[in-house]
Amino acid sequence: HVKKFVEKWLGGGRVVDVRGAPLTVMPRVVLHDGEGFRIGEAAGLVYPLTGEGIRPGVLSAIALAEALSTKKPLEEYRRRVAPIVKQVEFQKKLLSLAVRMSERGGALLELADDGVLRDYIEENLSARTLLALLAKKPAAAARLIAALLR
């Protein structure tokens, strides 16, 4: 991937060293695997559009700690992390959509206002608002997708 990137975007070159750590991009959310509870990265609680996993990790740890003292810990844990799970699943859909559109080679490169996307990533915007925008304003939607790909 690094070689392809260098070729495409920098016009070629020589890669002398490659180091990295895998980023979770399309996590599968598993809160309990049949044997034990999972939190953070192990539970798949990483936001696909940003790779943010520290905050969801801490929040899920707190949620589980609190849920463990209730009568139905798994149900309570699910309820407490539901907003994070919802965000993860919706971001996965957006990312898949962005990839599909990119593969079709549409006019996705122009980006005007990416404030909407930033708000979304910061969780100030609901998924419903974002979907309404996508449905009513195709041009804005295209720009949004372009923003997703940056």
Ligand X SMILES: Cc1cc2nc3c(=O)[nH]c(=O)nc-3n(C[C@H](O)[C@H](O)[C@H](O)COP(=O)(O)OP(=O)(O)OC[C@H]3O[C@@H](n4cnc5c(N)ncnc54)[C@H](O)[C@@H]3O)c2cc1C
Q: Is 46 in the site for ligand X (CB under 6 A)?
A: yes
Q: Closest separation between CB of residue 36 and ligand X, Å?
A: 12
Contacts with ligand X in 49-68 (CB under 6 A)?
A: 51-55, 57
Count of residues engaged in binding ligand X, rule: CB under 6 A: 12
Q: Is 48 in the site for ligand X (CB under 6 A)?
A: no
Q: Which are the contacts of 102, defined by CB distance < 8 A and separation ≥ 6?
A: 108, 145, 149
Q: Is 114 in the site for ligand X (CB under 6 A)?
A: no
Stretch that binds ligand X, among 9-17, 29-37, 46-54, 128-136 (CB under 6 A): 46-54
DSSP lists the bridge partners of residue 37 as 32
| 50-89 exposure pattern, b = at least 16 Cβ within 10 A, e = fewer | eeebeebbebbeebbeebeeeeeeeebbeebbeebbebbe
Q: Closest separation between CB of residue 71 and ligand X, Å?
A: 26
| Nearest residue to 117 (alpha-carbon basis) of 129, 102, 99, 135 | 129
Residues lying near ligand X in the complex (CB under 6 A): 21, 23, 40-42, 46, 51-55, 57
